[in-house]
Amino acid sequence: MMVDAGATAKRGPIVDVSLEKDDDGGYASGGWKSEDGNLSCGYSSFRGKRASMEDFYDVKTSNIDGQTVCLFGIFDGHGGSRAAEYLKEHLFENLMKHPQFMTNTKLAISETYQRTDMEFLEAERDSYRDDGSTASTAVLVGNHLYVANVGDSRAVISKAGKAIPLSDDHKPNRSDERKRIENAGGVVMWAGTWRVGGVLAMSRAFGNRMLKQFVVAEPEIQDQEIDEEFELLVLASDGLWDVVPNEDAISLARTEEAPEAAARKLTETAFTRGSADNITCIVVRFHHDKTDPDEAHHD
């Protein structure tokens, strides 16, 4: 018997947390805390040295079947901002509507990301632009965390004080990615950096119609149970990771109690260290009732 899970799911309203807009595309930040107090997050987005802002971010929360669901996303556009903006407007909405979102979250993420990519290309088919976007996203269903990545934005978690990346950048010279591209008839070549077709410096992205058969929007997904050792999660565009290593990002974020202050510190540090890109990050802090600082593991 077929059961449409989507029809039976009891869904609360979807709350868009990242509502703060900045006036000139220069700088925006904000923060939010969950009703149950288990989670707080902060975000900070800075145009930096670029003339235009192509980074977008999204934070949403909802209650589905009695479970709290939180979604966090960083979308770093290239060749224009339209793809990144489209993801902010549609990706999480589409994901929560997937009939298997609660029952098979990984499948829902994988199918939704690729479908949203096709819908973006369809919506833009008459435009002469060929922009694209990364997506570094974290979906928290109860205490289960799914990190899905397309492109070279990155997610890093702090577990008992240790920085652990939960995504692996999609760079064209990553051996498995290079092989996939070459098997599809594409070419990876050096043009200042490794590029697909000598053009694009990442091997997976949304959009990028001209390179679509090589540059796919299929996400790599890692899932984790959140336990007492998980302290915080940092999602950021490569404007941060170009100049701030994973370990630095975690140790800087841990010095601030409030995640918004941590997110601001990260964007400021990246800018001070000479990042030439837009810089956007989200810091999510997990609050555990039974935290005893003496129990933290020291290597």
Question: For residues 264 and 43, what is the distance between their CA atoms, to the nearest angstrom?
Answer: 7
140 φ, ψ (degrees, to nearest 5): -110, 115
Sign of CA dihedral 269, 272, 274, 277: positive
What DSSP string runs through 23-88? SSSSEEEEEEE-TTSSEEEEEEEE-TTSSS--EEEEEEEEEETTEEEEEEEEEEEESSSHHHHHHH
Residue 126: pLDDT band (50, 70, 90) is confident
Mean pLDDT along residues 105-120: 98
Query: Which residue is listed with tokens 């000598």?
Result: 198
Q: Which two tokens stand for residue 170?
A: 């999609």
The number of beta carbons lying within 10 Å of the beta carbon of residue 163 is 18
Question: For residues 264 and 55, what is the distance between their CA atoms, to the nearest angstrom?
Answer: 15
Ordered by start, the domain boundaries in the chain are 14-168+216-287, 171-204
CB 60 within 8 A of CB 50: no
| Residue-averaged pLDDT of the chain | 91
Non-local (6+) Cβ contacts of 255 within 8 A are 262, 265
Q: Which two tokens stand for residue 195?
A: 């590029």
- Per the DSSP assignment, residues forming a β-bridge with 53 are none
Q: Which letter does DSSP use for residue 280 in this model?
A: E
Mean pLDDT along residues 4-14: 61
What is the structure's pLDDT at 295? 43
Convert 225-271 into a string of H (helix), E (strand) and C (coil).
Answer: ECCCCEEEEEEECHHHHCCCCHHHHHHHHHCCCCHHHHHHHHHHHHH
Q: Which two tokens stand for residue 42?
A: 């902060």
Residue 182: pLDDT band (50, 70, 90) is very high
How big is the CA angle at 145 (ends 13 and 287), to the nearest 5 degrees? 85
What is the structure's pLDDT at 24? 57
Buried-exposed string 137-148: b where 16+ CB fall within 10 A, e elsewhere: bbbbbeeebbbb
Is 170 a residue whose pLDDT tops 90? yes
Residue 269: pLDDT band (50, 70, 90) is very high
Query: Which residue is listed with tokens 């003496």?
Result: 294
Q: Which CATH class is domain 14-168+216-287?
A: alpha beta
Q: Which two tokens stand for residue 25?
A: 């595309």
0.95 surpassed by pTM: no
- 16-20, 89-93, 232-236: least confidently modelled range: 16-20
Burial of 63 from C-beta contacts in 10 A (0-12 / 13-18 / 19+)? middle
